[in-house]
Structure 1
Amino acid sequence: MDTISILTLRLAEAMGLYMILIGIGGLASPPRWRAVMDDLNASPALVVALGFTVFVVGVTLVMIHSIWTDPLAVIVSIIGYVALIEGALLLAVPGPLIRIGHWSTTFIRAWAIIALLLGLFLFLAGLTGRATISV
């Protein structure tokens, strides 16, 4: 896949690898993800720590990669904005997001498969992609 930036390719690889690992984890141990949601529900400090971390990752991604020139760059940029918004919501109003998280534990295997497939796509797109500048 052609993109305008080498950074897009490297971020796609990193995001893809993360999603592959999350997908494998979800398939290997669904009860662990339910336990994570239970822990978040029981610990406001954990929610704040997670929200801060996700917010910082999102802000960093948006600052270094807000590129809207090709499909892969758009996907990478959207992931950055989603992380920023998710982190902000976890810091400001975590309740609705945690309720959605609890609801989604009903479909852990489906989410894990989606994460695994999207991760494979992003990782392979980053690994085999080519950065070009067309003028």
Structure 2
Amino acid sequence: MDTFSVLTLRLAEAIGLYMIFVGIGGLSAPRRWRQMMDDLERSPGLVMALGLPVFATGAALVLIHSIWRDPLSIVVSAIGYVALIEGALLLAVPAPLLKIGRWSLNFTRVWAIVSIGLGTLLFLAGLTGRATISV
């Protein structure tokens, strides 16, 4: 896949690997996701502690990669904006996200498989892609 930037390729690889590992964790220990959700619902401090790195990661991605020129760069940029918004919501109004998180536990294995599949596609796109302009 051709993309605008080498940065897009490297970020796609990193985000893809992250998604693969999260998916493997969901398949190998689905109860751990339920336990994490229980911990988040019991501890507002933990929610704040989680919100900060999610927000910072999203902000960093948005600052270094807001490129909207080809499909892969759009996906990588959108992931940055989603992380930024998710982190902001965890810091400001976490209840709706926690409610969605609790509901999604009903589909842990599905989410895990989807995460592995999309992560693999993203990783391979980054690994095998070609940058037309280096930024």
The Cα of 1:73 is off from its aligned counterpart by: 0.2
The residue type paired with residue 10 of structure 1 is R
Question: 1:16 is matched with which residue?
Answer: 16
**What is the TM-score of this pair, normalised by structure 2?**
0.98
Equivalent AA in structure 2 for residue 76 of structure 1: V
Q: Which amino acid aligns with 1:92?
A: A
Q: Any stretches of 5+ residues in structure 1 without a counterpart?
A: none
User: What is the one-letter code of the residue matched to 2:29?
Assistant: S
2:47 aligns with 47
Question: Matches of residues 1-135 of structure 1 in structure 2 within 5 Å?
Answer: 1-133=1-133
What is the percentage of aligned positions where both structures have the same residue?
Answer: 70
Displacement of 1:39 after TM fit?
Answer: 0.4
The alpha carbon displacement at 1:59 in A equals 0.3
TM-score of the pair, normalised by structure 1: 0.98
Greater than 2 Å deviation, 4+ residue runs: none
Question: Structure 2 regions of 5+ residues with no counterpart?
Answer: none
In 1, distance between residues paired with 2:51 and 2:9? 26
The aligned amino acid for 1:124 is: L
Q: Secondary structure at the match of 1:69?
A: coil
Q: Deviations over 1:29-84 (max 9, x none)?
A: 10000000000001111000100110000000000000000000000000000000
Specify the code of the residue in structure 2 equivalent to 1:62. V
Partners of 2:62 and 2:70 lie apart in 1 by: 16
